C-alpha cells in the first residue's frame, strides 16, 4: 500500500481528478459506495489505464461496504466493481462497525447481520479473487478484539479519523502490534464535517491556524498542509487527503521531501493536548453515537 493516497469524498469532477492524480504519481485511490462517486472514479482510472499511464497492478484502489449492504457483501462488491470498471479491488473495507443505518424507517424492516456471519463472507471475497485484501474503518480496539478472536483472514487496515486534534494513540499502538495498517481520513482536519465544525465555532478549530503548525511551516519554507502530512507519515500513518485541485495534489506529494526533527514532532503533538476534537461523529450517520 502506498504511504499516501487521495481521498475522494465530496471531490468535484472526480473522473478528471482521478485521471490527473494518477498521471502525476498518485497510486492510492480511496472511495466508498456511500460516496456515490465510484462510477466517476472508475472512469478516471480507466482513462489512465487505457492511455498506459500505469498498469492496473501499480494502482491500489480502496472502496467500502455500507452497513445496509452487509447481508450480501459479494453482491455489494460486484456492484462496486461494475461501477469502478475493475475486475478486483485491492482493499475492501467495512465502512462502519454497525449492522444497520438506524435512521432507516421502519428499522424492523432491515435485516440484522452479525459480525460472525458478515466477516466470513468478506473472507470469501479474498478467496474468490474479488478483493486482494479486506479491512475495516472506524473500528476501535474492542471492535478489533472481537473480530480478531475468530477471523481466519485478519483485517489488513483500519481507516479512522486521525489528525493533530485527534491523535488516537491507543488505537494506533494496538493496530501496530497486530500489524494492521493505520489509514487517516481528515488528515488535515478539513473534511466536510470538520468545515462545518470550524464554521460553527467561528474558525477556532482550524489546524492550519495553529501557531505550532505555522512556526514549523515557516521554518522549512513549506506549506502547512505539507508539514501536517509529513507528521502523519512519520507516525507510520497513511494519510488520504481529498482535493479537487491538481496543484494541491502535487503539493501534497512533496511532503515526502521534508525532514521533521524530534522537536518538531513534539511541538505538533502538543496541539492535541490543548484541543481534543473528533469531527466525524457517528450520530449523523446512524442516529446514535456508536463510539460511546
Long-range Cβ pairs for the range 43-51 (8 Å, 24+): 43/15, 43/18, 43/19, 43/85, 44/14, 44/15, 44/16, 44/17, 44/18, 44/19, 44/20, 45/18, 45/19, 45/84, 45/85, 45/86, 46/85, 47/15, 47/19, 48/18, 48/19, 48/22, 48/23
Q: Is 35 a catalytic residue?
A: yes
Cα–Cα dist 5/239, whole Å: 6
For residues 77 and 89, the answer to whether their CB atoms sit within 8 Å is yes
Catalytic residue among 35, 162, 185, 285: 35
Cα–Cα dist 172/234, whole Å: 13
Annotated catalytic residues are: 35
Amino acid at each position: 500500500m502506498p504511504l499516501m493516497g487521495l481521498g475522494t469524498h465530496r471531490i468535484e469532477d472526480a473522473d478528471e481528478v482521478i485521471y490527473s492524480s494518477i498521471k502525476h504519481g498518485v497510486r492510492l485511490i480511496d472511495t466508498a459506495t456511500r460516496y456515490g462517486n465510484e462510477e466517476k472514479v472508475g472512469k478516471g482510472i480507466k482513462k489512465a489505464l487505457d492511455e498506459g499511464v500505469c498498469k492496473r497492478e501499480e494502482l491500489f484502489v480502496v472502496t467500502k461496504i455500507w452497513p445496509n449492504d452487509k447481508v450480501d457483501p459479494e453482491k455489494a462488491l460486484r456492484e462496486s466493481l461494475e461501477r469502478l470498471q475493475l475486475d478486483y479491488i485491492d482493499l475492501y473495507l467495512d465502512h462502519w462497525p454497525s449492522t444497520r443505518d438506524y435512521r432507516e424507517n421502519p428499522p424492523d424492516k432491515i435485516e440484522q447481520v452479525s459480525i460472525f456471519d458478515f466477516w466470513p463472507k468478506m473472507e470469501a471475497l479474498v478467496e474468490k479473487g474479488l478483493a486482494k485484501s479486506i479491512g475495516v474503518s472506524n473500528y476501535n480496539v474492542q471492535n478489533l478484539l472481537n473480530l480478531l478472536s475468530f477471523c481466519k483472514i485478519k483485517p489488513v487496515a483500519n481507516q479512522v479519523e486521525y489528525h493533530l486534534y485527534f491523535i488516537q494513540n491507543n488505537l494506533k499502538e494496538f493496530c501496530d502490534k497486530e500489524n494492521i495498517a493505520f489509514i487517516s481520513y481528515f488528515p488535515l482536519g478539513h473534511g466536510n464535517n470538520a468545515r462545518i465544525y470550524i464554521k460553527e465555532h467561528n474558525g477556532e478549530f482550524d489546524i492550519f491556524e495553529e501557531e505550532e503548525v505555522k512556526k514549523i511551516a515557516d521554518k522549512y519554507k513549506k506549506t502547512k498542509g505539507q508539514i501536517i502530512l509529513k507528521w502523519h507519515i512519520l507516525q507510520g500513518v497513511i494519510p488520504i487527503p481529498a482535493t479537487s485541485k491538481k496543484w494541491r495534489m502535487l503539493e501534497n506529494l512533496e511532503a515526502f521531501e521534508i525532514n521533521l526533527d524530534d522537536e518538531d514532532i513534539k511541538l505538533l503533538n502538543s496541539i492535541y493536548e490543548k484541543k481534543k476534537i473528533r469531527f466525524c461523529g457517528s450520530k449523523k450517520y446512524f442516529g446514535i453515537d456508536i463510539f460511546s
